Amino acid sequence: MKGKVIIFSAPSGAGKTTIVHHLLKVFPQLEFSVSACSRPKRKDETNGVDYYFMSVEEFKKKIANNEFAEYEEVYKDNFYGTLKSEIERIWKKGKHIIFDMDVMGGLNLRLQFGDNALAIFVMPPSIQHLEMRLKSRETETPESIARRIGKAEQELKKANLFDKIILNDNLETALKEAEALVSEFLK
C-alpha cells in the first residue's frame, strides 16, 4: 500500500514542528516520519521519537548502503535523512506520512512523490523573528544560531517552489490554515 505524503518545510525556528505536532493530534490517520540524524540529542528529545540519533560514521554507512530516500549534510557533520525503511514502516500500517524537514529535503521528496505529495512551506514573519525564537529556545549556541539564520535567508528564496505557503505570524491562524489544507488533501 502507498499512502499520501505531507511535507512541511521551513527555516529552523519558523514553527513547523509545532504545526506538525498539532496535525498529528487532529488527524489520527497521519504518522510522523522519524528522520535519522547525526547531531547530538537535545535534553528534551527522545531517540526513536524525535529522531533516530546515530554517529556520523553510522550515518555514512547507511548512505553507502543506499538506505536513504533523501539525506543532507544540513550543517557540517550534522547529517539528516529519511530512511526508506521508515516510509515502508508507516505505509505498512495503512497510514499517511507527515514529514518535517529542511527546504532542500522537502523539495527533493516532493519531486519523488509527485501528485501523492503535498509540500507546505511555513513562512516566518521575518528573519528577526526567527532569530528571537531560536534564542528563546535556549537549545542553540550563538554559532548554531548564526548558521541557522544564514541558511534561513537562502531557504526563504525557495518558498515559491512549494504547493502552499503558510505565513506563521499568528499561531492559531497558522494551525487552522494547516488543518484546512491537510483535510482537503486527504479527502
Which of these segments, 99-107, 118-126, 129-137, 177-185, binds ligand 5GP (CB under 6 A)? Answer: 99-107
SS3 sequence of 116-164: HEEEEEEECCCHHHHHHHHHHHCCCCHHHHHHHHHHHHHHHCCHHHCCE
Comparing every residue's Cβ against ligand 5GP, the nearest one is: 105
* Closest residue by Cα to residue 72 from 103, 98, 99: 103
The yes or no reply on residue 39 touching ligand 5GP (CB under 6 A) is: yes
Distance, CA of 99 to CA of 35 (rounded, Å): 9
User: Nearest CA to 124 among 14, 8, 19?
Assistant: 14
Q: Does 81 bind ligand 5GP (CB under 6 A)?
A: yes
Q: CB 187 → ligand 5GP: shortest distance, Å?
A: 27
Q: Is the CB of 67 or the CB of 72 nearer to ligand 5GP?
A: 72
What residues contact 10, with CB distance under 8 A and at least 6 apart? Answer: 16, 103, 121, 122, 123, 124, 155, 168
- All three cell numbers of 71: 539525506
Residue 101 is a binding residue for ligand 5GP (CB under 6 A): yes
Contact indicator for 177, 165 with CB cutoff of 8 Å = no
- CB nearer to ligand 5GP: give 46 or 183: 46
From candidates 19, 23, 52, 82, binder to ligand 5GP by CB under 6 A: 82
Smallest gap from Cβ 157 to ligand 5GP, in A, equals: 15
Select from 52-60, 79-87, 120-128, 158-166 the region that touches ligand 5GP (CB under 6 A).
Answer: 79-87
Alpha carbons 18 and 119: distance in angstroms, whole number = 17
Q: Cβ(118)–Cβ(108) under 8 Å? A: no
The span of 52-60, 97-105, 125-133, 176-184 binding ligand 5GP (CB under 6 A) equals 97-105
Q: Decide: is 72 part of the binding site for ligand 5GP (CB under 6 A).
A: yes
Q: Determine, following the binding rule CB under 6 A, whether residue 12 of this chain makes contact with ligand 5GP.
A: yes
Which residues contact ligand 5GP by CB under 6 A? 12, 35, 39, 70, 72, 74, 80-82, 100-102, 105
